[in-house]
Structure 1
């Protein structure tokens, strides 16, 4: 597995590279966008770790280019940011990031996120054996083909957003706790940042448009797909 780490902080880039190599990954590090783009022309990685705050061209601009280019649009991307505002997180997710970590992050957490994203990426790119359809309101999902449509129009979701929506749709009208969502969607037994699930829910609602209103917050517990019955 080849991973590209685009990070301008040399100490962080070195630590991440060392840790990933220790886990058997092949890693290449870049301090800015230009050499990263050149490397993409020669070899495409299996996953990209991308810092938001890069010199020159920032990570969001880089991410948008990756998602607009046919050869790189399906490469999973994990964003790294020193910021904790909702705006930065949602902007990254809306631009196509599959996950994010907030600095300073733990190496074990980063490794868990990488394994989880790579696992979903392999599942998404595999040839479907049999397709079935899940429906809720105007939302239609074909899990094996990684397709989601709202009122007949296909929308683009990240791997995490797709798995989150799938879990909500399978358990429609049921209240799902944050712990249940974490175990089902993130799978790994690490402690998520308190706002991680909220950020993905917010991004998912935006992409669903009018149908996003059906993703309801249940205060003090978690979320439900479906309005509360009067």
Structure 2
């Protein structure tokens, strides 16, 4: 049920997310800039670094892998939980609210899907 990823796997996934986000930016007229550097739990928004906690970063990383695909709270919690950092379904809304607060004007990247859960808006 739980996964334990190495630092290198997380770095590789962060690089993949950055590539996906770069491609999406090129395909849209949206001028927002969101980048996830391969090290640490930082997100760059229009050149400004924002520090996220581990769970917030993992939520953003997981959702951004498949833009517009809705995930249930259970799917998200299961995907981002580790033996060292378990995430309960009931805690997810609080983490998403905190993540949106840190994203500020870019909070619309994380969309609520009624009766389902959440998705990433590219």
Task: Assess same fold via TM > 0.5.
Answer: yes
Whether contact under 8 Å (1:131, 1:145) holds in the other structure is no
> CA separation in 2, counterparts of 1:150 and 1:226?
15
Structure having the higher helix fraction is 2
Residue 172 in 1 paired to residue 102 in 2? no
Residue 123 in 1 paired to residue 7 in 2? yes
Note the C-alpha offset of 1:182. 1.0
Q: How many residues align?
A: 105
Q: Structure 2 length as normaliser, TM-score? A: 0.69
Whether contact under 8 Å (2:81, 2:87) holds in the other structure is no
> CA separation in 2, counterparts of 1:216 and 1:208?
12
Unpaired runs of at least 5, structure 2: 25-31
Map 1:139-154 onto structure 2 (within 5 A): 139-142=34-37, 144-146=38-40, 147-154=42-49
Whether contact under 8 Å (1:138, 1:211) holds in the other structure is no
Residue 192 in 1 paired to residue 95 in 2? no
Structure having the higher strand fraction is 1
Which of these two proteins has the greater Rg computed from alpha carbons? 1
Q: CA-to-partner distance for each residue in 1:19-64, whole Å, 9 max, x for gaps?
A: xxxxxxxxxxxxxxxxxxxxxxxxxxxxxxxxxxxxxxxxxxxxxx
1:181 paired residue among 76, 80, 86: 76
The answer for the alignment partner of 1:217 in structure 2 is 112
> CA separation in 2, counterparts of 1:175 and 1:140?
21
Q: CA-to-partner distance for each residue in 1:166-188, whole Å, 9 max, x for gaps?
A: 01111111111112101111146
**Greater RCO, CA 8 A, separation 6+:** 2
Q: CA-to-partner distance for each residue in 1:187-228, whole Å, 9 max, x for gaps?
A: 46x78252x00000000001111110221111111001118x
Moved over 4 A (4+): 128-132
Q: Structure 1 length as normaliser, TM-score? A: 0.39
